[in-house]
Chain A
C-alpha cells in the first residue's frame, strides 16, 4: 500500500469514538504482548513509540481543553499523527446524531471531526466493523445513516490511507500487529486485501482452520446449541468469514466463539449483521447475493 514515509520517533495517536459501544477500546485493553501499559508508556519497538494524545475513555482531561488537543494536532502536526476511528460515522441530518464535544459554542460532530482530522492524518485506522464498514449502527433501517470511514473519505475526496481492522470487536493483536508493521516496516509495508484489511490477519477462512472442520468433513453436524459437531446447521458463518480466530484464539488464548459452542457470526465482514443474519440460521452463498 502506498503511504507517506514514517520518520517520527513518537507517533501521536488520536483515537475518536463514533457511533459505537467502546468494545473495540475494551478489546485493546485486553492485549497481552504488548500489554496496554506498553502501548501507552513504552517504546514498542526500539526507538519508536506511540503517544495517545486523545482518547475520551482514558484521558485525564475533559471539556474544552481536550478539544484544543484536537485543534492543535490538526494545525501543527499535519501528516504527523495516526488517527484511530472506533464506531461508525452518523451522517444523517448533517451529522447531528453524534457529537464528540463542543467548540466555540457549537457541537463538534463525529462526521466533522473524522473528516477534518482524517484529512491531516498520516494514516487512519478504521478499528472495528462499525468504523470499517458501518456495522450494527448501519444495520437496516440505518436510522442515523451510519457509514464507515473509507466511504466518508471517498465522498469527501480525502486521500489519507485507511487501514480497516474489522471485528465486533477486533482481536487486540489485529490492532497491535498492524501498529507493529507500521513501526517496523512503514505504512507502505501493510499488505491489504480488497476490503482494506491486513492480509496478515484476515487471509484465511475460519472454516479452513476450524477445529470442528473434521466434523464437517465427516458430515457430523450439531443439531442444537451445546451439541458436539460442526455448527454449520446452527448458522455458523465460518465458511464465509476471513479471520485467524481459530489459530490465534481470544483473551490470551483461552477460547473463541466456535470453541465455546457458538456459531461464527461473521463479525469481521462488511455484510455483518444484515447479510449474515438470522445468526442461528445457515446461509448459503445464494443468500448473500
Chain B
C-alpha cells in the first residue's frame, strides 16, 4: 500500500520548505517539493528607483545576498547602457566580494547545514539542543572522526565569519554588502586593503584544503552508497559567473545527460505555471515577458514557485552543474581538481550525479574560487578607477545573469519613465525545487527523490540528505501555500 511521508519543516536550509514523498514498497514513487512563504518582491519593486533594486533585492536572501547584488548590478548596468564601461578594477572587486560570499556559503552549507545528517554530534557534545532532537539511526562515521568533525564544525563557524570580515574590506558590511553598485564598486583597492584581504584569504584557503575537502572525503568514504542516491535529471545548466576582465571563471553551458555540451542562450528560458498558483495565460513565457499574477484557488497547483525550463527541459543548477560544465569545456584547473578527487575515491564522472557528488563538487569549487581570488587580488590597480558615473534612463531593459553559490540566478528589468516597470527574478532554487511543468515533468529535486529506497520510514535520512545536497534557498524563491495533493493511503508526518 502507498504511504505518504511529509517532512515539514525541512530545517537546516535557508527558508521555509516542505517535502512530500509517496512511498510504495519502500521506494519513492512520487515526490513534491514546496516552499511555504510568499513575500512578493517583484510586486514590491514596481515603481521604484531602478538603482534601489540593487540594495533591495539583496534582502531576498541573507545567506547569499551578494548573488542578488551582482545579478541586479549586471541587470542595471545593461539597462543603463554601462555594460561595456565597467572598469577592470570594479569587475575584480565585485568578484572578490562575491567570492568571499561563495566561500562563507559553501563552508556554512557543509558543516552547519548538511553535516549533522552524517555525524553523530550528540555523541560528542551530549544530548544538547540544537543537536537533539533529530533523526536516529544511520550515523556511520567513527566516534574519533565524529569528534574531529565536531571540532571542525566549531572552527568552521569562525572561518565562515572570517569570510564575511574579508568581504567587508571592499563590501562595507555583511550580510547585505554596500560595495557592489550599478556602474562598479564604491571602495578603492589601496595596497593596504589588498594585503589585508590576501592574508585573510590565505587562512580560509588553508581551511578549505586541509579541513573542508578532507572532511567531505571522510564522509564520502563512510557513506559511499550515497554516490548512487539522488541522481536527478542529469541535465545541467550554468549561466556562467564571475565576470572578469579576462572572461568568466564559470563557463556557461548546458550539459546533456550524455555529457554533450550545448551553447547556452538566455532566450530559451521559459517558465511554466500549470502547477503553480499563477494564471495559466502566463505559462511558457520568457522572463522578459513574464508576469506574476497569482491565482490562489487554481486546481492542480501546489507551489508558488514557477517551473523554469530550458528548451522545455528541467535542469539542475549549482556547483555540480558548474564543475561539470567547466570539466567538459576543458577548464584545466577544474579538470585537475575533479580528476584528482575521482582518483582518490576510485570513481568515474558519473558518480558526481549523486548526493555525495554534489557535496564534493561544492568543496572543490570552494578551492577553485579561493585560488582564483588570490590571482584577482594581484590584478588590482590601486590608482585606477572603480566606478563609472551614470544617469537613470527614461526607458531601458536589462538582464543580469550570474552564478549564486546555489546555482544560476537571473534578474530581468524593464525601466519606464525612469522607474522600474517590471522586475523578474529566477532563482537557483526555482530551477532545482520547481514543481511539475506543463508537460508534467517534475523538477530537479523531485526527480532526485523519485526512485529512492527509504530504509526507515520514521527516520527517512535518504530524503533529507538528497534535499540538503542541493543547498536549497527558499527565501530566494517565490512560493506556495497549500501543497496538499491527492490523498492516498496513510499520511505520515516525520
Contact = CB atoms under 8 A, between A and B. Distances in A.
Interface in A1-50: 12, 17, 19-27, 29-30, 32, 35-37, 40-41
A30 B482 contact: no
A213 B173 CA distance: 20
A111 to B, nearest CB: 12
Interface in B50-65: 51-52, 55-56, 59-63, 65
B44 A141 contact: yes
A4 to B, nearest CB: 23
A14 B37 CA distance: 19
A137 B122 CA distance: 37
Given A102-B8, A107-B481, A53 B173 contact: no
Nearest to B492: A64
A101 B62 CA distance: 21
Nearest to A59: B130
A88 B6 CA distance: 26
Interface stretch (B178-186, B231-239, B349-357): B178-186
B40 interface: yes
Given A41-B125, A250-B173, A251-B165, A35 B133 contact: no
Contacts of B179: 260-262
A32 B164 CA distance: 12
B244 interface: no
A98 B38 contact: yes
A225 interface: yes
A224 B135 CA distance: 55
A143 B40 contact: yes
A163 interface: no
Interface string B356-398: 0000000000000000000000000000011101000000000
A226 B154 CA distance: 38
A267 B172 CA distance: 14
A66 B18 CA distance: 13
B199 interface: no
A100 B8 CA distance: 8
B327 interface: no
Given A51-B129, A53-B130, A279-B49, A143 B175 contact: no
B12 A57 contact: yes
A258 to B, nearest CB: 8
B265 interface: no
Interface residues of A, number: 82
B289 interface: no
Interface stretch (B155-163, B268-276, B409-417, B431-439): B155-163
Interface string B115-144: 010000110010011111111000000000
Contacts of B134: 60-61, 65
Nearest to A12: B129
Contact of A254 (B62, B168, B481): B168
A54 B491 CA distance: 25
Interface in A209-257: 224-226, 250-252, 254-257
B386 A226 contact: yes
Contact of A143 (B39, B122, B129): B39
Contacts of A188: none
Contacts of A267: 176
B82 interface: no
A63 B494 contact: yes
Contacts of A17: 16
A277 B49 contact: yes
A225 B464 CA distance: 45
B12 A19 contact: no
Contacts of A137: 39-40, 44
A153 interface: no
Contact of B475 (A21, A66, A224): A21
A57 B61 CA distance: 13
Contacts of A19: 37, 39
A260 B173 contact: yes
A189 interface: no
B187 A23 contact: no
Nearest to B175: A23
A288 interface: no
Given A225-B183, A251-B174, A273-B56, A99 B37 contact: yes
Nearest to A103: B493
A101 B117 CA distance: 20
Contacts of A157: none
Given A59-B129, A226-B184, A277-B49, A64 B494 contact: yes
Interface string A155-180: 00000000000001100000000000
A97 B482 CA distance: 10
A260 B174 CA distance: 12
A10 to B, nearest CB: 10
A20 B187 contact: no
Interface in B21-79: 36-40, 43-44, 48-49, 51-52, 55-56, 59-63, 65
8 contacts: A21-B65, A26-B62, A53-B130, A141-B44, A255-B173, A257-B172, A257-B173, A280-B51
Interface of A: 12, 17, 19-27, 29-30, 32, 35-37, 40-41, 51-69, 90, 93, 96-102, 105, 107, 110, 136-137, 139-141, 143-144, 146, 168-169, 224-226, 250-252, 254-257, 259-262, 265, 267, 273, 277-281
Interface of B: 6-16, 18, 36-40, 43-44, 48-49, 51-52, 55-56, 59-63, 65, 108, 112-113, 116, 121-122, 125, 128-135, 154, 157-158, 160-161, 164-165, 167-176, 178-179, 181, 183-184, 186-188, 296, 385-387, 389, 464, 475, 481-482, 491, 493-494
